Chain A
Amino acid sequence: MIPAAAVFAYLAVALAIGIFARRGSQQKDAEDYFLAGRSLGPAVFLLSLFGANMTAFSILGASGHAFGNGIVTYGLMASSSALVIPLSIFLIGTRLWALGKRHGFMTPVQMFRDRWECGHIGTVIFLVQAVLLVPYIVIAVMGGGTTLQAVSGGLVPFWLGGAVVSLVVTGYVCFGGMRGTAWVNAFQAVLFLMFGAVAVVTIGAGMGGFPRAMESMLASPATAPLLARERVSPLYFFSYTFIPLSTIAFPHIGIFCLTARRLSHFRKTIVLYPICMLAIWLPSVFLGVVANTATDVPAITLKIDARATLASEGPTLAPAERDRLRAQAGGDDVVLRLLEGYAPLWLASLLGAAVMAAVMASDTQILALSTMFTQDVFAYYEGTARFGPAMQVQTGRVFVIVLTLLAYLIALGAPQSIFDLATQYAFAGYAALSPLVAAAVFWKGSTKWGALATTVWTAAAVFAVALLQAVVPAPAPGAAIAVLTIGSLDLVSRAATGTTVLGFMPVVPMTIVSALLMVVISRWTAASRPSNITLAKYFPMARQQV
């Protein structure tokens, strides 16, 4: 059993950093609370942006997915993200920064309202962004509950672990604002960047070396496929390259882009982002894969046996038994089990704290939602004018508490694994919103009606996928249920891993249709284009094109 003391110590340190980080600030207004006064230096900007984007699934979800699916996990999420995310920050994030600095925007919706000269359409965008962000926050609570339950050997139940994480995050977000959150994220990023190398070396030594483990996997028909990608469709693999488009559309990332002190601070972030991805994802995936040979860890053996039973008897099992075995085979805690089995006690404790650091990256999302609510709803509908700027900040704090409580209650009942939940709802939805952000900064011809069409489409598509997956139960691995067929063509299918559209993940058609709607509806409503004065703010005549 890994002592939970180091994890609780980490939580206390994070809480202290977050609360006291804001005390040194000279400025105590809304811009300081929500945007750290647009003053983050290059190191904190890089580390906190990376830390904000790495969540429970980066360590727990990635290794859990790799445990069951093999090396494909790295190519699915990490290597594509390593290119697409910093590229989108380079192309769009820098422009968001410039626009925010120049015109005082504090949220993406403020910019959208100004850009397209719209009001209530901005509120619709806020609502969809907010609803899509909740699953992201739920992941963190689930990850916190899973981690604390694992590191305490079950002494801290899931519900209590999730509550502890929620309370700590709420504490430093409420009192520290963006400045506190950024410093905690930077601290977290350093911890879990160190985690990868240390974990691999330590666990490798404990297992007697990885070469032998790899050869044993290659020699077994049950595990050899995990070291290649023969079980994965190339279309499915390609589909995942659309998922990282979600990052620039995530409001917390958009808001984070506004916090840099200078444009040049983006340089290091853009160039080093792939290195940071490599440092955390490669070890996580590798350890998840090699965990299949850790048969001297009882908890892992149980998972392997459950998976084998599902593979051989899955279609004949009763649904309840199949669900029980699926839960048992779940790999979201596999890296914690490896630490438990092979790392010395003190090191395992520290590494458990690093895992907790990655898990708690919901702070930025919670703060972003608070910023969005106070700016896009409270201030926009004249709350600030009526009640004053101090009340605006207090409203933000109350919103943080209510939102975290809501996410906690959802986390108690959510059945899916961390990885599946993240990719299917939050990421796909935001990827489909990326044309909205791109059109705002790059296309003069976009209109508010194009923006509305994109937003409504995104909401409807996410809802449709969620409904389909709730109504049509997942088949056994390897099987697929045709949901919508045209002639002999299976247009929409339900597979064990989710829904496919012509073999692609839903994120592909969702994003393509979203972009098409932006173009078609904008052209159709060209008369609603913003005024030349507004357009000149976003497309100055002398601007160079990248």
Chain B
Amino acid sequence: MTAALLVAAIYALHQDFWFWREARPLVFGVLPIGLFYHAVYTLASSLLLWFLVSVWWPSHLEDAGHSPAAE
């Protein structure tokens, strides 16, 4: 449930209506704020995925993948 809520929250943050009509500020003088936000969003996705694989890694599948017998 925690994982699902985290994923849902990150997914919802993709719809960034607060930067919809704005180009400024230009981050680092070149990146419109909407583009910068989504670049950071991409990094945040990587962090979320790192957290998911660290805490909820389905290690039982490695065993299931090698064992021919039903569990």
| Interface residues in chain A, defined as those with a beta carbon under 8 Å from any beta carbon in chain B | 71-72, 74-75, 78-80, 82-83, 86-87, 90, 94-95, 97-98, 101-102, 210-211, 214-215, 218, 224, 227-230, 234, 237-238, 241, 262-264, 267, 270-275, 277-278, 282, 285-286, 536-537, 540-544, 546
| Interface residues in chain B, defined as those with a beta carbon under 8 Å from any beta carbon in chain A | 3, 7, 10-11, 14-17, 19-24, 26, 29-32, 34-35, 38-39, 41-43, 45-46, 48-50, 52-53, 56-62, 64-68, 70-71
Shortest distance from the beta carbon of A87 to any chain B beta carbon, whole Å: 7
Residues of A within 8 A of B56 (CB): 546
Partner of B20, one of A102, A230, A544: A230
Q: Whole-angstrom distance between the alpha carbons of A26 and B40 in the complex?
A: 45
Are the C-beta atoms of A82 and B42 separated by less than 8 Å?
yes
Residues of A within 8 A of B14 (CB): 75, 79-80, 83, 241
Are the C-beta atoms of B42 and A241 separated by less than 8 Å?
no
Name the residue of chain A whose CB is nearest to the CB of B61: A98
Q: Whole-angstrom distance between the alpha carbons of A273 and B42 in the complex?
A: 10
Residues of B within 8 A of A234 (CB): 15, 17, 20
Are the C-beta atoms of B11 and A274 separated by less than 8 Å?
no
Knowing A83-B11, A90-B52, say if A542 contacts B71 (CB, 8 Å): yes
Q: Whole-angstrom distance between the alpha carbons of A82 and B44 in the complex?
A: 10
Name the residue of chain A whose CB is nearest to the CB of B28: A211
Knowing A79-B45, A83-B11, A86-B49, say if A262 contacts B30 (CB, 8 Å): no
Are the C-beta atoms of B49 and A274 separated by less than 8 Å?
yes
Interface secondary structure of A, over-half rule: helix
Shortest distance from the beta carbon of B6 to any chain A beta carbon, whole Å: 11
Residues of A within 8 A of B21 (CB): 228-230
Among B20, B50, B65, residue most surrounded by chain A Cβ atoms (within 10 Å): B65
Q: Whole-angstrom distance between the alpha carbons of A230 and B23 in the complex?
A: 10
Residues of B within 8 A of A79 (CB): 14, 38-39, 41-42, 45
Q: Whole-angstrom distance between the alpha carbons of A537 and B62 in the complex?
A: 15
Shortest distance from the beta carbon of A345 to any chain B beta carbon, whole Å: 26
Q: Whole-angstrom distance between the alpha carbons of A101 and B61 in the complex?
A: 10
Knowing A218-B24, A546-B58, say if A227 contacts B32 (CB, 8 Å): yes
Name the residue of chain A whose CB is nearest to the CB of B11: A83
Residues of B within 8 A of A262 (CB): 62
Knowing A83-B45, A540-B71, say if A74 contacts B57 (CB, 8 Å): no
Residues of B within 8 A of A86 (CB): 45, 49
Among B34, B38, B59, residue most surrounded by chain A Cβ atoms (within 10 Å): B38
Q: Whole-angstrom distance between the alpha carbons of A264 and B58 in the complex?
A: 10
Knowing A227-B32, A546-B58, say if A271 contacts B42 (CB, 8 Å): no
Residues of B within 8 A of A71 (CB): 32, 34-35
- A224-B23, A237-B15 provided; 10 other pairs, C-beta below 8 A? A83-B11, A98-B64, A228-B34, A229-B21, A241-B11, A263-B65, A270-B53, A274-B42, A274-B49, A286-B30
